[in-house]
Amino acid sequence: MKKLKVLIFGLFTMLFLSFSQISAEAHSPDLHEGVSGQDVKELQVKLTKMGYFHTTATGYYGSITKNAVVQFQRDFNVSDTGFTGPLTRAKLAEVDMMAHVVYGEARGESYTGQIAVAAVILNRIESSLFPNSTYNVVFQRNAFTAVNDGQYNLLPNAAAYQAVKAAVKGSDPSLGATYYYNPSGVTDTWIFSRTPITKIGKHVFAK
Instruction: Determine the pLDDT at residue 186.
Output: 80
3 state DSSP class of 199? strand
pTM: 0.85
Domain positions in the chain: 2-30+85-206
3 state DSSP class of 84? strand
pLDDT category, 14, cuts 50, 70, 90? Answer: low
**Is 70 exceeded by the pLDDT of residue 160?**
yes
Class of domain 2-30+85-206: mainly alpha
Q: Where are the alpha helices (DSSP H) in 56-133?
A: 63-75, 86-106, 111-126
| Alpha-carbon gap, residue 146 to 106, rounded angstroms | 9
Strand partners, 60: 36
**CA angle (73 as vertex; 120, 37 as ends), nearest 5:** 110
Neighbours of 194 (CB within 10 A): 16
- The CA R_g of the chain, rounded to the nearest whole Å, is 18
Give the tens place of pLDDT for each residue, 82-101.
Answer: 999 999 999 999 999 999 99
Q: Give the full edge-to-edge strand order of the sheet including 179-181.
A: 179-181, 203-206, 196-200
Q: Are 120 and 146 in contact (CB under 8 A)?
A: no
What is the DSSP secondary structure assignment for residue 205, as one 8-state letter? E
**Position with higher pLDDT, 134 vs 20:** 134
Dihedral sign, Cα of residue 71, residue 77, residue 83, residue 85: negative
